[in-house]
Chains A and B, each alone.
Chain A
Amino acid sequence: MSVADTLADRYDAELQSHGVGLRDEFLEAARELESMLTPEDFEVWAERGAALASQSLRSWEAAVEFFRASPEVSRLIPFDLLVRWSESAERLSTESPLVAAAYLRATPAVVQALPADPDFDIGIQGENITQQTIIRTDLDSWAQAGERLHQGNWKSIALTVLFFDESPKIFSGLSMPQVDQLVDVLVVLAERSYQLATTCLEASGALFEELDFHDREPFLQFAAALSRSSWADTRLYFERGPELVSRIEREQRGAFLQLAARVVQSAGRQGFPHFLETASAMGDVPVNEHETMMRLAQYLARRSPVAAMAFLRSVPFVLTRITSEQLEQWVEPGARLLFDEGNIEGAEAYFKMQSTRAEGTLASLSARVELGSIHGLLRMYAKALTGSTISIRSTEELVDRGIGWVQQSMATTEGTSIFLPPFVGSFPEQPSNFQSYKVFTTHQTGRIEFGSFHYQWGVDGVYAPASVAERLPDAPQRERDAITDMERFFDLFEVRDLIASLFTVVEDTRVDAAVSREYRGITPWLHRLQSIEAERRPDARSMSLRSAFVESMLRSSLGRRDAIRWPKDLMEAMGTALGALAVVEEPNATVQDSAEVAGALYDIAVSMPNIRNPYNDEDWEEPPSDFGEQAQMPGGMGQSERELPEDSEEQEFEVPAQPEFRGDFKPELVQLLSRLRDQASGEAGEGETLSSDQVMDALSKSSEVGFPDASEGDMAASMGQFLSNLEKEAAAAAKAKQQRDQNGEESDGEGGGDEGGSSDKGPEITWTYYDEWDFRASDYRPRWCRVGERTGEEGTLDYYQDTLQKHHGLVVETRRQFELMRPETFRRIKRLEDGEEIDLDRAIEFIVDKRAGVGPLAQVYWRRNKVDRDVAVAFLMDMSASTDEEVEKPRSGDRTDGSFQGDPRNYFQWLAERRAKQISEAPKRIIDLEKESLVLIAEALEAIGDSYGIYGFSGYGRDNVEFHVIKDLAEQFGDQVRKRIDKVQPVRSTRMGPAIRHTIAKMEKYDAKAKILILVSDGRPQDHGYGRDRTEKEYAVHDTHQALLEAKRVGITPFLITVDKEGHDYLKDMCSDVGYEVVDDIEQLPRRLTSLYRVLSAE
C-alpha cells in the first residue's frame, strides 16, 4: 500500500462524509503528489485538504478543486507558496465555497500565465518582466482582488466567480497591479449594476490581449476615470475602445488616453461621447500626423484638456483646408486666447471651430477658395458679363436636386444658373484658385454671353451656310419629332454621342476663342488651365479611332495642337478637320457656325471605322505645324470610307472626358428646360405644350443624362424623377421670375445666404444661415443657425372679421389716433435769405447789426419744409409653445371667499356662472392676444400708410428656426394676410437671435428713412442647444441682446415688448441700450402696442 493509500484511508471517514467523489479525488491527487512532496509536506497537504473540506457544509466543493489543482500547482510553485495558496482558499471559502472553488480551479492556468518571479526563477527575461514583477508569489493578492468584488450577495458571488474563471485570460494581458486597477473599476461599476460589471469583465480578457502592451495601463486609467464620472458608458468603452485606440499611432495612444481621462473627469456625461468622437477623428487622420497632433494637444491640455480634445476633434476638418505644416499656425491664435488672455471659454470655442476667429484663421491660412465666400462676387461678375441675372450655385446642389445631367459635380450652366464646384484648391496659392474660379465662371458666362444655347434650325452661320436641308434626306428616321431646334439638329446624325461631343468641342472652342478676344485680361489664366488640362488628357492611342479623333479636336481646342498624336495614314483628314475647327475661332463666328463645323467633323469622323488603334505607336505623329492655321470649311459632304484593316471590330463610341474648367455642356437640355420654363410661366406662346412623354423621349435621347447605376427599370423611374425635378426647377424659376417682375427686384440669394433645397411638400422654404453670438468666447459662431423662411399658412377670413367686430370700439379709436399722425409734419427751416415769413428775432438782430456797421447776411426768413412720413416697421411675434398658456384674468371678475358671505348658494351660483362663461368664451391665451394685436396693428397702419411687415418665429434647434411671413414689408395688405393671421399659432421654442437677424436682413433691403423692429414675446429666449445646457439662460439672453444691437448698428430701432411678468430680471441685460416694456396687464397688449408704435415712429 502506498503512502497515498494509507493517507486516504486515514482521512477516509472525514472525506466520505462530504460525498463519495471526494475520496476518489483525494486519492487521485495524492497518488500524483506522493513522489513530489516530502512526507512531511505530503502530510501537511492532506491535512489542509481535509480541513478545507470540513470547513463548512458546502466547502467540499472547494476541496474537490483543491485536490484537482494540487498536482499541477505543486509542479509550478514551491510548497510554502502552496500552503499560502491553500490558506487563501480557506479564507475565500469561509465567505463562499463557490468562490473558493473558482479560485482554486483557475490557479494552474493563472500561474502558468504569470511570468516567473524573478527572485525565484532567475533567467527568465523579456519585455513583460520589468512591468510585471512579483508574480507567482502573488496568488494571495489575486485572491484578495477577488475578495474585493465579493459583497456577500448572490450577484456579487457570481461576479467574483466569473472573475476567477476569467483570470487566466486576464493575467495573460495584465500585471497584478493592473488587475487591481481593473477590479477597482469593476467595484465601482458593481455598485451601480452587476450586469454592467459582468459584461465588462467578460470583455476584459479578449480586450487586454488585443491591446498593445503599452496601452493597457492608460486604457485602465481612462476606464477608472470614466467609471467614476459616467459609469454607464464604461461598457461601450470596453466594447469599442480597443478598436478606436488601435487607429491611433502606437506611440501616441497612451498620451491620448491619459488626456481623455483628464477630460472625462471634468466633462462628466459629455466626456465619453467626446472621447468617441475624438478617437475616431484621430483615426481619420493619417497616423504620421498623430505625433504633431498629440504634441499640440498636450500643450493645450496644460491649460484646458477640453480645448485639447476639441482641437483633436477638429483636426480632420481643419486638415481639409490647410496642410499639416500649417496646423501649428492655426493653433496659435487659440493658444493665445488660452494662455495669454486666459479666455478659456473662448479658446475652447476656437478649437471646437465654433468661433469666427477660428474660421477666419483657417480661411487666411487656406489656399483653397470656397464658393460660399465668393458667391456674391461671382454672381455680380456673371451679371456684369452677361447682362442677365444669373445665380451662382454649387454643383453639390445640382447632384442633390437630381437635375445634374451627369453624376460628377462638373461646372455647368442651364442658362440662368451657373453651377460651380463648392471649392477649388488645386493650386497652392489662394489667388490662383480664385483665378480658376474666374475662368470656370467666365467660360460658363461665355456660353450665355456668346449664345451657345441659341442654335436655330436652318440659320446660316457667318462662315458656314446651313447644311440642314441637304442633310435632311439622309437623316435617320426618328419615332417622334424633335422638340427643340438643337435636338432637331442632333437628330440629323446617326450617332448621337458623336455629334453631341463634337458639337461640344467645337462650341467650347468658339466660346474660349471669344472669351480670349473679349477678355484679354483673363486669357493668360485661361491658357494656363487649358494647358494643364491638355497635359492631363488620356493617351489617344488607347482609344478607338473616332474617340481619338474627338480627343484630337479637344486638344486643338485647348490651344495645344502640338499635343495631338494622330496616325500618319489619316493625317490628311486631320488637316481638313483642324482647318474646319479653326473656323469657329474667327471673330463673329456664331453657334450656327459651330453646328456646321461639328457636322463637317462628324462627316470626317464617320469616314473612319470606329475600331481600336490598328497602328503601331511609331505610326502616330504630331500633325504638321501649319495644320489648322488656315480656317477652312471642308468642301462637300460625305467623305469616302477609308481603307483600314478589315479584321478589327467596330467599337461603341466613347465620349472623351470634358476638361474641368469647361464642365458640362448640354445645349439640347437647356433648350428643353427653357421651353418648360416658358410653359410654366405661361409664356409658351405658339406651339403646343409638351407632354411628359415627349419630354421623356427627348431626355432619353440625351444619352449622357446619367443616372447612378441605373438598370433598365430604374432608368425609367429615374428618368421620371429627373423629369419632375426638371419641371419643378422650371416652375420655381418661372415663379421667381414673376416675383422679380412684380417686385422689380432680384430675389436670388441676397444677403449672402445660401438657398437650401426646398422640400417637396408643404410651404416653400428658403434657408439662410446666421452667425450666433457666444458671449463666453466673445465671438460669433459662424453660420450657426439656419433660418427657414416660409409664407404663413392661410386660414379663413372669419377670425379677422370676428376680431374686428369684437373690438369695434378699440379699432375705431386706434384708427382715429393714427390718422391724426398722417398729415405731413412740418419742420421749420430757419436762417434763410428768402422764405415764407420773416423770423422776427433774426430780423431785429440783422437791423441792429446793420446799424452797427457790420454786414451780416440777411438771413431773416424761415420756411416750412414738408417732411413725408417714411417709416417701415417690422413686428416679430413669438410663436413659441409657451404662448399657448392661458392669460390670467384680472381679478375683477373673480370674487374672494369673503364675498360669498358664508352662503354656499352664492358660491355655487358663482361657479355655475363661471362655467357658463367659460363655455361661451374659450379662455384667452397669450397667442390670442398677440393675434388680436396684429389685427389692430394692421388696421391702424393701413390708416397711416406706413410700410410694415408682420413675422412670426419659432422652431427647434439651431438648424431649424422657423420664420413665418404673415405680411412681408413690400406686400400689399389683403385677404391673404387676414387669412394668415388666423393661422398664427404656438409652435415650438424661442430662439430669438436668428429670428431678429433675419428680420434685420429683410429690413436692410427695404428702403425707408426710419426703420423700427418691434419684438413681441411672452418670455425669455429658450431653445434646444441655446446655451450650454437646458437650464442655462445667459447664453440665449446675450445672443438676443447682441442681435438687437446689430439692429441698432444698421439704423433700425429695436424695441421689445414682453408680457413676461417675471421678465424684469433678464430683460435689463437683454435690453441694455435697447428699449423695452413689460406689459403687466397683458389684456392691454393690443392697446399698448399700438400706442407705443405711435411714440416710436414719431421721431
Chain B
Amino acid sequence: MAVEDFRLTSEPYYLPITDEIELFETAYANNVPVLLKGPTGCGKTRFVEYMSWRLHNHLGDKATEGVPLITVACHEDLTASDLVGRYLLEGEETRWIDGPITRAVKTGAICYLDEIVEARKDTTVLIHPLTDYRRLLPIDKRGELLEAAPGFLLVLSYNPGYQSALKDLKHSTRQRFIAIEFKYPPREQEAQIIQVESGCSTDMAEELAKLAEKVRNLREHGLAEGVSTRLLVYAGKLIANGISPRRACQVAVVWGLTDDVEVQQSIEEVVTSIFPE
C-alpha cells in the first residue's frame, strides 16, 4: 500500500452546498482537525476527495504530487495497531509495517478516518496527541514519537444517526475538532448531483430528488436516515441505462431502506405517485 495510490488523478465532481469548502481550506491552512458530521451517503467522502484535489492545486509547487489522501474505513475490529502499524513475522525475523496513520503523518497527507465511531474505543487514544498543536503520533511498540509532516490533517467522519449510547463519540474527542455538518443536499442541488453523477435526464434527476425529500419525511418510521444521495445516484444510473424508473427506485430506494413491509409499501406508493408507469 503505497501512499501514492491515494493520489487523485482527475478532479472529483463536488457540488458545494454551503460554505464547507471555505471552512475546510481555512482549517487546513491552520492545522485544525476536522470532523465531518452527517448521515451516510451524503457526500462526506466525496468532499474530502475533492478537497484533497483542490488543495493540491492550490499548493502549486507540489503540482505533481498533490496532497495525498489516506482513507481508512473504520470497522468494529479496527484496533490501534491496525492504524499505527505492527510487526509481522517473517520466518524467525520480524518486520515493522507502517499503518495508514503513520504513513499519513510521515508524508503529510490528509488522513480520513471514515465512520470513526465504528472503530474500537482504544483507537481514539491515538487521535488525541495528533490533534494537539504539536501533532505527535506515539508508536508504543517501537518506542517512537513521530511528529506530523506539514500538510498532514486528521479528518474524521461521524454519523450521528446511529445514536446509541455504545457508539457515540467521546466528548473529549469531539472537543478537538471543528465540526462541519453535512445534510442531504436540498432538492435542487441534489437533483443536480444526481444528474451529473448518474447521467440521467434533468427531469428524472429532479423527480428522484423529490422522491428523496418525501422519503426522508418518514425518517422516524424506522428509516433512521432516509434515502442517501448515493442510492439516488444508483437509481439514476439504472434509469439512465434503460431500467424503468419505478423498478429502479424499487431496487435502489425501497428495498434498501427497511424491512418493515408496511413502510416499504408506503414508500412504494410514494414512488408510484411520482413516477408514471
Contacts and interface: CB of A to CB of B under 8 A. Distances in A.
Interface residues of A, number: 27
Interface stretch (A381-389, A586-594, A1064-1072): A381-389
B275 interface: yes
Interface in B249-273: 262-263, 265-267, 269-273
Contact of A380 (B246, B262, B273): B262
A381 B166 contact: no
Main SS class of interface, B: helix
Nearest to A836: B122
Nearest to A858: B89
A425 interface: no
A1074 B271 CA distance: 44
Contacts of A834: 79-81, 122
B275 A746 contact: no
B274 interface: yes
B220 interface: yes
Contact of A381 (B89, B210, B269): B269
A378 B81 CA distance: 51
A383 B262 contact: no
Given A377-B262, A518-B210, A834-B79, A523 B276 contact: yes
A378 B276 CA distance: 19
Contacts of A376: 262, 266
A844 B221 CA distance: 51
Given A380-B218, A384-B214, A833-B79, A521 B262 contact: no
Interface string B185-228: 00000000000000000000001001000110110110000000
B125 interface: no
Contacts of B207: 520
A484 interface: no
Interface in A718-744: none
Contacts of B79: 833-834
B93 to A, nearest CB: 13
A240 to B, nearest CB: 48
A385 B218 CA distance: 9
B277 interface: yes
Given A383-B217, A387-B217, A522 B272 contact: yes
A383 B266 CA distance: 10
B86 to A, nearest CB: 8
B262 A442 contact: no
B1 interface: no
Contact of A868 (B80, B89, B165, B277): B165
A438 interface: yes
A539 interface: no
B276 A521 contact: yes
Interface string A2-46: 000000000000000000000000000000000000000000000
A745 interface: yes
Contact of B266 (A380, A519, A868): A380
A524 B269 contact: no
A587 to B, nearest CB: 13
Interface residues of B, number: 30
B263 A380 contact: yes
Contacts of A855: 89
B56 to A, nearest CB: 35
Interface in A437-479: 438, 442
Contact of A384 (B89, B215, B262): B215
A518 B275 CA distance: 10
A520 B122 CA distance: 53
B201 to A, nearest CB: 14
Given A385-B270, A833-B79, A868-B166, A520 B276 contact: yes
A461 to B, nearest CB: 23
B74 to A, nearest CB: 16
B217 A521 contact: no
B218 A383 contact: yes
Contacts of A521: 246, 271-277
Task: Among B79, B165, B273, B277, find the residue whose CB has the most chain A CB atoms closer than 10 A.
Answer: B273
Most chain B CB atoms below 10 A, which of A377, A379, A380: A380
A387 B267 CA distance: 13
Contacts of B272: 521-522
Contact of B273 (A377, A387, A438, A746): A438
Given A383-B217, A386-B217, A377 B266 contact: yes
Interface in A736-772: 745-746
A386, A442, A522, A523 interface centre (most CB from chain B within 10 Å):
A522
A428 B141 CA distance: 77
Given A386-B217, A521-B277, A381 B262 contact: no
A438 B274 CA distance: 12
Given A380-B262, A384-B214, A834-B80, A522 B273 contact: yes
B218 A520 contact: no
Nearest to B265: A377
Contacts of B273: 385, 438, 442, 519, 521-522
A384 B81 contact: no
Contacts of A380: 218, 221, 262-263, 266-267
A1037 B220 CA distance: 38
B276 A384 contact: no
Given A521-B277, A833-B81, A834-B81, A384 B271 contact: no
A377 B277 CA distance: 21
Interface string A39-75: 0000000000000000000000000000000000000
Contacts of B210: 518
A375 to B, nearest CB: 10
Contacts of B89: 850, 855
Nearest to B221: A380
B265 A520 contact: no
Contacts of A438: 269, 273
A144 B276 CA distance: 85
Contacts of B217: 383-387
A391 to B, nearest CB: 14
Given A377-B262, A521-B272, A834-B79, A384 B218 contact: yes
A519 B218 contact: no
A522 B268 CA distance: 12
A990 B94 CA distance: 73
Contacts of A379: 266
Interface in B99-115: none
Contact of B274 (A377, A519, A833, A850): A519
A619 B207 CA distance: 47
Q: By CB atoms of chain B within 10 A, which of A438, A442, A834, A850 has the most?
A: A834
Contacts of B221: 380, 383
Contacts of A522: 272-273
B47 to A, nearest CB: 27
Nearest to A861: B79
A521 B275 CA distance: 4
Interface string A393-425: 000000000000000000000000000000000
A818 B72 CA distance: 44
Nearest to B246: A521
Contacts of A378: 266
A518 B272 CA distance: 12
Contacts of B215: 384
Contacts of A850: 89
27 contacts: A377-B265, A377-B269, A379-B266, A380-B221, A380-B262, A380-B263, A383-B221, A384-B214, A384-B218, A384-B266, A385-B214, A385-B217, A518-B210, A520-B207, A520-B275, A520-B276, A521-B272, A521-B273, A521-B277, A522-B273, A524-B276, A524-B277, A746-B220, A834-B79, A834-B80, A850-B89, A868-B166
Interface of B: 79-81, 89, 122, 165-166, 207, 210, 214-215, 217-218, 220-221, 246, 262-263, 265-267, 269-277
Given A383-B218, A438-B273, 5 more contacts: A377-B266, A384-B218, A384-B266, A523-B276, A833-B81
Closest 6 CB pairs of A and B: A380-B266, A519-B273, A387-B217, A384-B214, A522-B273, A381-B266
